Structure 1
């Protein structure tokens, strides 16, 4: 056999081998048996529909209307909600800071008709600017806990005043919507339908508005639903497939060797932590809230109605409080059921500690009403009680207290007067009265 014949034979063999492998590649049906039961996605939200817009989380605590020396408000949250939602559609411009004299006139002036929205805590104006159409450059240095809207004539430009009560600073903006002043004026005209309020001077610079008369506030009982442990595991770990579980009598523990999830069934409490993180690299309040809001949206953590309650830059912590009809819900110490706050502490732009309820409220099954003591009685109580230093009070408000009932899946929700101190401590007037063996308990 000559060389040419050998070359031709080798070429034929190579072509046959090539055709064989090509046929096998095209006809191969790969098996997926070893992947069965494994998700193609890593983390899965607790609830795909549990998404919030920012204005639904940053919400006013209460609406007040000021007319001369008269003050009005209501615990019906529909008015504050409608105003706040309307404000999201306005276009703001001509931002400018005002003087201390302007501050006194806007906040305390008796010759100005105005609406006021008060919030639980100081909010970065940069956060508000990110929520709306704001023409001017954003400012990261100013925070506010009140908004005032002056009542003006129909042909005048609506002004909005962002106020920091503690720093006595004020920023003014103009609204470029023709119907904004009509909306404000219409709401102002409804003031006589509201309850009369008065100013309680808590310390030198803190004016708190309290109702002149008793207020009737609804009681509730709610069915609760316990959120499955696996949902928290799948939502909070980036790779839930590698998470190991350890169950004991007090908790269910999950870990991926770095992060740890502990679920305490009896306390209805969830704790998620990454102990390797520190808070050495702190971020500003705007960034702190933004990443907290996004974190809850990303893993579907809004299992009930929650409102921004506190931003603490010093420890890089953000707290959201459960709310019912815009009234904050606090936990009962006497008949403890579980936490009512979502708290996030951050380190190096990652979640370091995350605590929250393991339950959600489903629907109310009964309700009646309770008559709370008037604001005048609250004022008298504070002035006559040595346990309370009025200068240390940040706010006084009505809250709902959530406690267990005689049925496992049902919680009771009842209104109480609550005092928030400047250091963040919450005190219930009823508890103070009971400690001093008073006859009154904050409820009449």
Structure 2
């Protein structure tokens, strides 16, 4: 009897264990841990800014209207500037023509700060077009005009390296083009370089500046700083292996042995170097502007408005520079340092080897604003011509930009002061044109 009792007990125990196993198996299969929220938080830590589109970082430095034998500039701070450019980007492009018209005298010229690689230029537009459909390697300038015989609007595209424009028919509306040309907010323009009589407007490569006095806003912003922890979690594969120390000059250094990050000027700026080169002989199929854009986008690194301003490539290394823009104007100086308010990315082969940038983030809107009238373009040109140390043939661009000034007695506040700047082929960067005298200080 006792044996029968034990047998029944073992049978019920076995049944219980089988049922328990089934229940546990069910929970194991159906269990969904709350990983999405954790992952989202982890990704959020590594995002130091926001993601951008190509259209956000590629924009012309100047828009010039040509009509009645004269040139007129649309100021960067005028709403018309963005409206014209955005209307162009919304247009479709059609088949190309290698022999564009030479007698075009009326149209709108767009000047870019550097040659835009053809692949990036095409990606600005809505439709999917192949890069090899177009004969140029890049685009410096474009001219939008109406071909009156068929009332179609066409685009002449130009590269300073090829010196031969080609033509692209577009879906741009002739009525929109005429409306932009009729708008009277543009200001008369003069050219810094000597007049060029080439039959193509784009081939003349004119450096345009407003001829008269112009007013731009002096703006003040409050700032915050990207935390050092967010930077290290973004740039180091395993933040647990990172060690940090403070140097004698006050800079903070973080390193994992192959990568090194220096934070300077009260952690407002960073320099990152990566020496873990896997294979520098393999070159990327994409241009450095595209790969650098992707690199910054991958960690949502756009902390404010930055625009592609310069890029270079060679067999040894490639580099791209994105400059901070405020109120649609470039920022050239900060604390007597040229190009400090830029994001710079360098590559060797397929590896990003250097990453330099400011860690300051401006609040979205200024806390103070006041219009400042600048000297006329005619006066600026006279100063450039009179400068003993400046050869006018070396001038590559002249434009209005901002100097960024921090407030010694008000931490976290910066002021952007508008001024004229000049860039020459033999200089280390943009130089401020003195407002009063001092032209010979220019290099």
TM-score class, shorter-chain normalisation, is 0.7 to 0.9
SS where residue 90 of structure 2 aligns?
coil
Cα distance change of structure 1 residues 400 and 154 upon mapping to structure 2, 3 Å threshold: farther
Alpha-carbon distance, 1:276 to partner: 3.1
Cα distance change of structure 1 residues 328 and 194 upon mapping to structure 2, 3 Å threshold: same
Counterparts of 1:364-379 in structure 2 under 5 Å? Answer: 364-379=366-381
SS where residue 93 of structure 2 aligns?
strand
Cα distance change of structure 1 residues 20 and 432 upon mapping to structure 2, 3 Å threshold: farther
Tell me, yes or no, if the aligned pair for 2:332 and 2:339 is still in contact at 8 Å.
Answer: no
Q: Report the more deviating stretch, 340-349 or 415-424.
A: 415-424
Alpha-carbon distance, 1:57 to partner: 0.5
Compute the RMSD of aligned alpha carbons. Answer: 3.6
Cα distance change of structure 1 residues 296 and 232 upon mapping to structure 2, 3 Å threshold: same
The whole-number CA distance in structure 2 between the counterparts of 1:243 and 1:188 is 58
1:430 is matched with which residue: 424, 429, 434?
434
Alpha-carbon distance, 1:127 to partner: 1.2
Matched length: 409
Which sections of structure 2, spanning at least 5 residues, go unmatched?
Answer: 1-6, 29-34, 197-203
1:197 aligns with 2:197: no
**TM-score (normalised: structure 1):** 0.81
SS where residue 94 of structure 1 aligns?
coil
Tell me, yes or no, if the aligned pair for 2:54 and 2:123 is still in contact at 8 Å.
Answer: no
The whole-number CA distance in structure 1 between the counterparts of 2:328 and 2:176 is 21
Deviations 1:313-370 (A, max 9, x none): 1230010000012210112344x69921000001232211000001111132212122
Deviations 1:398-422 (A, max 9, x none): 1111122232211111111111123
The whole-number CA distance in structure 1 between the counterparts of 2:190 and 2:307 is 26
1:26 aligns with 2:24: yes
Cα distance change of structure 1 residues 436 and 92 upon mapping to structure 2, 3 Å threshold: closer
The whole-number CA distance in structure 1 between the counterparts of 2:307 and 2:45 is 20
SS where residue 71 of structure 1 aligns?
strand
SS where residue 97 of structure 2 aligns?
strand
Alpha-carbon distance, 1:437 to partner: 7.3
Deviations 1:86-124 (A, max 9, x none): 22222212123337xx5xx3xxx6x62100111111111
Alpha-carbon distance, 1:43 to partner: 5.8
Cα distance change of structure 1 residues 280 and 369 upon mapping to structure 2, 3 Å threshold: farther
1:417 aligns with 2:420: yes
1:441 is matched with which residue? none
The whole-number CA distance in structure 1 between the counterparts of 2:398 and 2:113 is 11
The whole-number CA distance in structure 2 between the counterparts of 1:431 and 1:281 is 49
Counterparts of 1:212-251 in structure 2 under 5 Å? Answer: 212-248=211-247, 250-251=250-251
Tell me, yes or no, if the aligned pair for 2:121 and 2:139 is still in contact at 8 Å.
Answer: no
Tell me, yes or no, if the aligned pair for 2:251 and 2:263 is still in contact at 8 Å.
Answer: yes
Cα distance change of structure 1 residues 40 and 90 upon mapping to structure 2, 3 Å threshold: closer
Tell me, yes or no, if the aligned pair for 2:65 and 2:74 is still in contact at 8 Å.
Answer: no
The whole-number CA distance in structure 1 between the counterparts of 2:47 and 2:229 is 12
1:96 is matched with which residue? 97
The whole-number CA distance in structure 2 between the counterparts of 1:139 and 1:258 is 42
Which sections of structure 1, spanning at least 5 residues, go unmatched?
Answer: 1-8, 31-35, 439-444
Deviations 1:420-439 (A, max 9, x none): 1235632221299547479x
Deviations 1:163-218 (A, max 9, x none): 1245422121111x2x522221211111x322111222259765211212111111
Counterparts of 1:102-113 in structure 2 under 5 Å? Answer: 105=102, 112-113=105-106
